[in-house]
A = this chain, B = another copy of it.
Amino acid sequence: MPILVMKFGGTSVATLDRIRRAAKRVGREVAKGYDVIVIVSAMAGRTNELVGWVDEISPLYDAREYDAVVSSGENVTAGLMALTLQEMGIPARSWQGWQVPLKTDSAHGAARIEEIPTDNIMAKFEEGMKVAVVAGFQGVSPEGRITTLGRGGSDTTAVAFAAAFGAERCDIYTDVDGIYTTDPRIASKARKLERIAFEEMLELASLGAKVLQTRSVELAMRYKVKLRVLSSFEDNDENAGTLVCDEEDIVESKVVSGVAYSRDEAKMTLISVADRPGIAAAIFTPLAEAGVNVDMIVQNISEEGRTDMTFSCPVDQVKRAERALQAAREAGEINYHDLVADTEAAKVSVVGIGMRSHAGVAAQMFRALAAEGINIKVITTSEIKISVLIERKYMELAVQALHDAFELEKAA
């Protein structure tokens, strides 16, 4: 039998009614002849409640106990889903992470999957079971303790199962009906993409399109798992949702596939830094140690042995960044005249694998922004992405202008 992996997120299993609805979708795939592996998240709100309790007890918690507590939500959903399927007459059973066993390393709270043995579940499929319901987000460490894979980890569980079992496809059911050219709440002309390349999805995911956990996309790319994102709240046909797939499977594509954004960014500038070999390391090591997620970095041309160094980070990490840099200055590790924080920034990016073979995308982007009178504070580029930092109040305008400029409302 061909195998299909179906993953249902927290909002898709938030109530018993929604679990029933999800189970009906599973039933339809079973009727088509698939053996199905269902990966479930905790019912919406459960994990937050559990995390809240742990945080309240112990701000610096033991991550092993954190994992033991927060993994329980998925176990509940897995059992309830198996019961619902049985009630529909479909042979099903649940597996918790340690029962598979889904083996991970010992990095509690953000564990990495090491191995998924297939023999237990395959034996049950051979005995006539049609659906294996697996609790997502969790595994077991070499020490026999429960681990979790980090927020959104059920996506990664799903892709890893699809890879291990050679599944025909991995369907991710969520509360949106696919991947869009940009956020429809900002640009009403946003269009759902039928297909998107893994690389593009990676750039979009890390830029704030929170549909899929980044690691799940990396894993899908590595093992060539066909990944489909679709809504659990709509009727879907064969072509519903968005297929995240290998570049080769995308016949025609536009130069730019989507416009991403990240609202709460800050720009920090160290003014008149003594320019010497190793200065970048001296600045960014203390920031990394303080847990500041530095994103864009720009270094001005050096004049008379001094330079300005600019970087961006999330707004809520500005205080932490300031403390780390001042401490480094007091320790004599770095030397600067002033530290200026601009907390009114936002990042807007255009993403597309077509950029690799097309020149002039950056120029077109800058023209579109200039036409709206939007000033660019910082620019960074990668092979398939151009990002700019702008004033936050222009963010929506910039997204709309870029969506129009690259005609993303039209299919390729």
Residues of A within 8 A of B (CB): 16, 19-20, 50, 53-54, 56-58, 61-62, 64-66, 68-69, 72-73, 75-76, 78-80, 82-84, 86-87, 93-94, 96, 98-99, 144-146
Contact = CB atoms under 8 A, between A and B. Distances in A.
Given A69-B80, A79-B68, A145-B99, A57 B93 contact: no
Contact of A65 (B66, B69, B73, B86): B86
A58 B53 CA distance: 31
Nearest to A52: B16
A79 B65 contact: yes
Contact of A53 (B65, B75, B80): B80
A2 to B, nearest CB: 26
Contacts of A75: 68-69, 72, 75
Contacts of A69: 75-76, 79-80, 83
Nearest to A71: B75
Contact of A57 (B50, B83, B94, B96): B83
Contact of A62 (B56, B65, B78, B86): B86
Contacts of A145: 99
A117 to B, nearest CB: 13
Given A65-B93, A65-B94, A98-B98, A84 B57 contact: yes
Contacts of A16: 53, 56-57
Contacts of A94: 65, 68
B80 A64 contact: no
12 contacts: A54-B79, A57-B87, A58-B87, A62-B83, A68-B75, A68-B78, A68-B82, A69-B80, A69-B83, A72-B72, A72-B75, A96-B146
Contacts of A146: 96
Closest 10 CB pairs of A and B: A69-B79, A68-B79, A72-B72, A58-B87, A58-B83, A65-B79, A57-B83, A65-B83, A65-B82, A72-B75
A307 to B, nearest CB: 47
A58 to B, nearest CB: 5
Contacts of A72: 72-73, 75-76
B66 A54 contact: no
Nearest to A79: B69
Nearest to A56: B16
A66 B53 contact: no
Contacts of A68: 75, 78-79, 82, 94, 96
A84 B94 CA distance: 31
A291 to B, nearest CB: 22
A82 to B, nearest CB: 5
A58 B16 CA distance: 11
Nearest to A133: B65
A54 B82 contact: no
Nearest to A54: B83
A83 B61 contact: yes
Nearest to A98: B98
Contacts of A87: 57-58
Contacts of A99: 144-145
Contacts of A19: 57
B58 A86 contact: yes
B96 A80 contact: no
Contacts of A82: 62, 65, 68
Given A54-B83, A65-B79, A68-B94, 5 more contacts: A50-B76, A58-B84, A58-B86, A64-B93, A65-B83
Nearest to A78: B68
A314 B58 CA distance: 47
